[in-house]
Structure 1
Amino acid sequence: MDSLIKEKFGDNFVDKLELVADSLFFEEKKNTTFEYYEVDTWAMRKNNEDQLGGDFIINYLNEKLPPKSSFRFVSNIVDRPHYVIEFTVDKQGETKNVEIKERNNTEKFKGTDKIILNEISKIKDWTPASIRNEPVTAKFQRGVAIESGE
Structure 2
Amino acid sequence: MKYIPLVISLLMLSCSDESSEKAETLTDQGLAKKANLPPPPPPIGEQIDRNNELCVAEIERARLDAMKGKLVYSKYEGMKIRRHDEELKELLKKFNIAYEPLGMNCTGELNCYGLYMDSLITEKYGVNFISSLSQIADHMFEARWATKTYEYWHVDVEPKYGKVPPDTFILSKLNLPVGWDYEPMQSERQYIEAEFVVDTTGAVSNIKVGDFGYNLKYSNNKFLSHLKKQIKSIIEEMKPWEPAMFNSHKVKCWYLVDINLDK
Q: Give the TM-score normalised by the residue count of structure 1.
A: 0.63
For residues 16-75 of structure 1, give each alpha carbon's deviation from its aligned partner in whole angstroms, at most 9, with x where no partner exists: xxxx987653223431210112111101124x4xxxx52x33333432427989589xxx
Q: Which runs of structure 2 are paired with 1:10-29 in the superposition (5 Å)?
A: 24-29=140-145
- Counterpart CA distance in 2 for 1:31 and 1:44 is 20
Alignment partner of 1:93 is 2:207: no
Q: Which residue of 2 aligns with 1:120?
A: 235
Structure in which a larger fraction of residues adopt helix: 2
Identity %: 24
Give the aligned partner of residue 246 of structure 2. Answer: 131
Higher relative contact order (CA 8 A, sep 6+): 1
CA contact (8 A) 1:71 1:147 kept: no
Partner Cα distance (2:241, 2:181) in 1? 27
Are 1:42 and 2:151 counterparts? no
CA RMSD of aligned residues (A): 3.1
> Shift of residue 96 of structure 1?
1.2
How many Å apart are 1:122 and its aligned residue? 2.0
Tell me which amino acid in the other structure corresponds to 1:103.
Y
Q: Is the 8 A contact 1:34 1:139 kept in 2?
A: yes
State the Cα deviation string for residues 84-142 of structure 1 (Å, max 9, x = none): 21111111011111102222125143511111111112212111001122110000112
Q: What stretches of structure 1 of length at least 5 have no aligned partner?
A: 1-19, 73-77
Structure 2: any 5+ residue segments left out of the alignment?
1-135
Q: How many residues align?
A: 118
Name the larger-Rg structure. 2
